[in-house]
């Protein structure tokens, strides 16, 4: 199975975890695109979605799924999203598609976060994938300097403006031995909107798509 087939397969598998009739949170990216398509194959499975990006909103509307505003929600039971990397503690790097901040906001209020990913995303140590950081544009040089002190190689992502009007710095060559401490540290730099480390609010369940089927990992 190639990577797209693995993504499609896990996107179908997660449908079994949805309680019919709910409004659910939805992430961003190619795996989520397959998930939105999968949702559209089951009429009225969900009542609607809270979207984490303009691109997911576009696809949700295209497939006839109503999109709601997070501010109108009293609570949110479920958030479904993918990741750029996930470790066995269900901590993740996210933001390859620049949607990290909105994803983090929705994940922070959802009772349950299910991460759907193909097996290439499962790692022992986070950091092979460059760590995205969303920052306020005027803070670019001061945040770059602070990030350099942490040991990696931060670079501004070219030609990308986030849905919030900000820019992304990706930190290369940056193995993360203590994701919670690193998330807190980077969050403390003025000008940082959010860092794509999901270690404080990690996933509750990961469904990992492999050639031999879907593997489920739950948080301990």
Binding site for ligand R5P (CB under 6 A): 27-31, 81-84, 94-100, 103
Q: How many angstroms separate the CA atoms of 73 and 69, rounded?
A: 7
- The closest residue (CB) to ligand R5P is 29
Residue 84 vs 183, nearer CB to ligand R5P:
84
Annotation-wise, does 55 bind a ligand? no
Annotation-wise, does 188 bind a ligand? no
Residue 100 vs 182, nearer CB to ligand R5P:
100
3-state secondary structure of 137: helix
Question: Cβ 93 to ligand R5P, closest distance in Å?
Answer: 8
Question: Cβ 2 to ligand R5P, closest distance in Å?
Answer: 14
Residue 27 vs 152, nearer CB to ligand R5P:
27
Q: Look at the block and give the residue holding tokens 């930190």.
A: 171
As annotated, the active-site residues are 103
Annotation-wise, does 117 bind a ligand? no
Question: Cβ 133 to ligand R5P, closest distance in Å?
Answer: 12
Q: How many angstroms separate the CA atoms of 214 and 6, rounded?
A: 9
Annotation-wise, does 16 bind a ligand? no
Which residue intervals of 75-216 are DSSP H helices? Answer: 100-109, 140-148, 179-187
Dihedral of alpha carbons 82, 85, 90, 94, sign: negative
Extract the tokens encoding 102.
């909105």
Radius of gyration over every alpha carbon of the chain, rounded to an integer in angstroms? 17
Quote the Cα angle for 155-195-112, to 5°. Answer: 145
Residue ranges for the binding site for substrate? 28-31, 81-84, 94-97, 121
Residue ranges for the binding site? 28-31, 81-84, 94-97, 121
């Amino acid at each position: 199975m190639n990577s797209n087939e693995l993504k499609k397969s896990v996107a179908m598998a997660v449908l079994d975890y949805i309680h019919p009739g709910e409004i659910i949170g939805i992430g961003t990216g190619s795996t989520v695109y397959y998930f939105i398509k999968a949702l559209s194959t089951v009429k009225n499975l969900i009542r609607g979605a809270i979207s984490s990006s303009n691109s997911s909103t576009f696809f949700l509307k295209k497939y006839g799924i109503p999109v709601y505003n997070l501010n109108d929600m009293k609570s949110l039971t479920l958030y479904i999203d993918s990741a750029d990397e996930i470790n066995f503690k269900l901590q993740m790097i996210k933001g390859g598609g620049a949607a990290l901040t909105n994803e983090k906001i929705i994940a922070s209020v959802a009772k349950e976060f299910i991460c759907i990913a193909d097996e290439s995303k499962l790692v022992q140590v986070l950091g092979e994938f460059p760590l995205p950081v969303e920052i306020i544009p005027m803070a670019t040089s001061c945040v770059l300097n602070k990030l350099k002190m942490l040991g990696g190689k931060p670079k501004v992502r070219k030609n990308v403006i986030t849905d919030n009007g900000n820019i992304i710095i990706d930190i290369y060559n940056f193995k993360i031995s203590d994701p919670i401490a690193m998330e807190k540290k980077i969050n403390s730099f003025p000008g940082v909107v959010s860092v794509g480390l999901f270690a404080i609010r990690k996933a509750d369940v990961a469904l990992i798509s492999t050639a031999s089927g879907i593997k489920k990992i739950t948080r301990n």
